[in-house]
Structure 1
Amino acid sequence: MITNLARGVQTFTSNAFLVEGDRPVLIDTGSNFDVVAAVREHVDDLEAVVLTHTHHDHIGNLEAVTDEFGIETWGYDTELDDVSVDHEIADEATVQLGDHEYTALYTPGHKDDHLCFHSSEAGVLFAGDLVFQNGSFGRTDLPEGDRATLIESIDRVLSVVEDDLEAMHTGHGPSVTRNPYRDIELASQLARQA
């Protein structure tokens, strides 16, 4: 089961996805809300925090979560000055999230340490801030943002996921459960026009 713990939160935060199962993990912690209490409503324990990237809205609650559950953080880059990422996830590495194995896809363009996670078996993509509902795509006007690189990353994801992808969980806004492949195609097209 995948639950967006930030759903309905009325403050600036990213989504924070609790993935239940054999290896319960939190994908991004969000910020500015009590994510620990939200986790506790669903599970007693977590095994890890997995980060799509390290913008503050995705990691603001990181210390509270790691302190409360005594767990470590997994992400693309362990050499960051201001964020504690304990374990590196390399491009194309396999990561267990809940009951399924996911492939990590290095997808810079929005931020240099951005990862997406895809499972063919589960039919799920965790897209972070790469793409969103209705063909929206990640900002490139922030430090480390680059439109050409973002387009390459979107195209890479498009080449990996299947056209029958069942769900795309995004860093902001609602998850896409109706033809998410089409939203990724649209993001690729719109990013080229903007």
Structure 2
Amino acid sequence: MSDARVEHLTTSGVFTLDGGSWDVDNNVWLVGDDEEVVVIDAPHDAGAITAAVDGRRVVAVLCTHGHNDHVNAAPAVADATGAPILLHPEDRVLWDMTHPDRAPDGDLADGQSVRVGGTELTVLHTPGHAPGAVCVYAPELGVLFSGDTLFQGGPGATGRSYSDFPTIVDSIRRKLLTLPADTVVNTGHGDSTTIGAEAPNIRE
């Protein structure tokens, strides 16, 4: 029996891309138990994230994609905890905009498994919002961490560089809508939802 649980905090900062800047609130998700956790996205405030970790071993910092508002605190969190930063290699182009002098420590790949707190996390490559965007699925917990691929109300934004609307819709249809309808979707920004609630919002 897994004692794994999901913990949540919100950090605030600025998203920058294509010469624009936007104030944003980002969700940070921790999955694990009293001994160890995985951090899913490390935006804006390394101190708040390491405080939430509270001395536990950090198995990895998993980056759902390389936009600055999801990775800008990742090196500081990694340095503070000794955890590796893992990113899908197709998002290095975005990562390097924020951290040109610090590479991720490892790659994420579709179908990859990360074990933490007695539960299994599965990486799903879901390009569209970004070429290397991933979601993280915890089947035993009935939870999907969708980054900016799927939100309450539909797909993530595709109006900026390195994004593509048909691609994100295809990713969601093939990789996410096949999950159980009652799967909770914990997003990169805003409120959580479920796969069943979002299925009608995905169009061809």
Normalising by the smaller structure, the TM-score range is 0.7 to 0.9
Task: Tell me which residue corresponds to 1:5.
Answer: 9
1:59 maps to 71
Which consecutive residues of structure 1, in runs of 5 or more, have no partner in the other structure? none
Which residue type is aligned with residue 129 of structure 1?
D
**Equivalent in the alignment of 1:142:** 160
Deviation of residue 117 (structure 1)? 1.3
Q: Name 2:38's counterpart in structure 1.
A: 25
Equivalent pair of 2:50/2:80 in contact (CA under 8 Å): no
**What SS is found at the alignment partner of 1:121?**
helix
Where does residue 93 of structure 1 map in the other structure? 112
Normalising by structure 2, we get a TM-score of 0.79
Change in 2 beyond 3 A, CA 1:41/1:79: closer
Bigger shift: 124-133 or 22-31? 22-31
Contact 2:91 2:130 in 1 (8 A): no
Distance 1:95 1:38, change over 3 A: closer
Q: Deviations over 1:16-55 (max 9, x none)?
A: 1122325411100012x3x333432452132210111010
Letter in 1 for 2:126: T
Flag the 1:139–1:98 CA change in 2: closer, same or farther, 3 A.
Answer: farther
2:200 maps to: 186
Q: Distance in 2 between matches of 1:131 and 1:63?
A: 26
Cα gap change, 1:41/1:103 in structure 2, threshold over 3 Å: closer, same or farther? Answer: closer
User: TM-score normalized by structure 1?
Assistant: 0.83
**How many angstroms apart in 2 are the aligned matches of 1:41 and 1:149?**
34
User: Deviation at 1:2?
Assistant: 1.4
How many residue pairs are counted as aligned between the two chains?
182
Structure 2 counterpart of 1:185, which letter?
A
Which consecutive residues of structure 2, in runs of 5 or more, have no partner in the other structure?
14-22
Q: 1:89 to 1:36 in 2, by over 3 A?
A: same
Aligned to 2:20: none
- Residues 72 and 86 in structure 1, CA contact (< 8 A), matched pair in contact too: yes
Q: Quote how far apart the aligned CAs of 1:79 are.
A: 7.8
Provide the C-alpha distance between the structure 2 equivalents of 1:158 and 1:71, rounded to a whole number of angstroms: 28
Partner of 2:48: 37
Displacement after TM superposition at 1:159 (Å): 4.2
Q: Which has the higher strand share?
A: 2
CA contact (8 A) 1:116 1:125 kept: yes
Per the TM alignment, residue 97 of structure 1 is displaced from its structure 2 partner at its CA by: 4.2
How is 1:146-161 mapped onto 2 (pairs within 5 angstroms)?
Answer: 146-161=164-179
Contact 1:6 1:15 in 2 (8 A): yes
Task: Say whether the 8 Å CA contact 2:154–2:202 is kept in structure 1.
Answer: no
Aligned to 1:125: 144
Alignment partners' CA distance in 1, 2:125 and 2:201: 17
Does the CA contact (< 8 Å) of 2:37 and 2:53 recur in 1?
A: no
Give the aligned residue type for 1:118: Y
User: Counterpart of 1:80?
Assistant: 92
Distance 1:164 1:106, change over 3 A: same
C-alpha distance in structure 2 between counterparts of 1:141 and 1:120, whole Å: 31
C-alpha displacement of 1:78: 7.6
Q: What is the CA deviation profile of residues 74-94 of structure 1, one whole-angstrom value per residue up to 9, with x for unaligned ones?
A: 121188261422111211111
SS at match of 2:61: strand
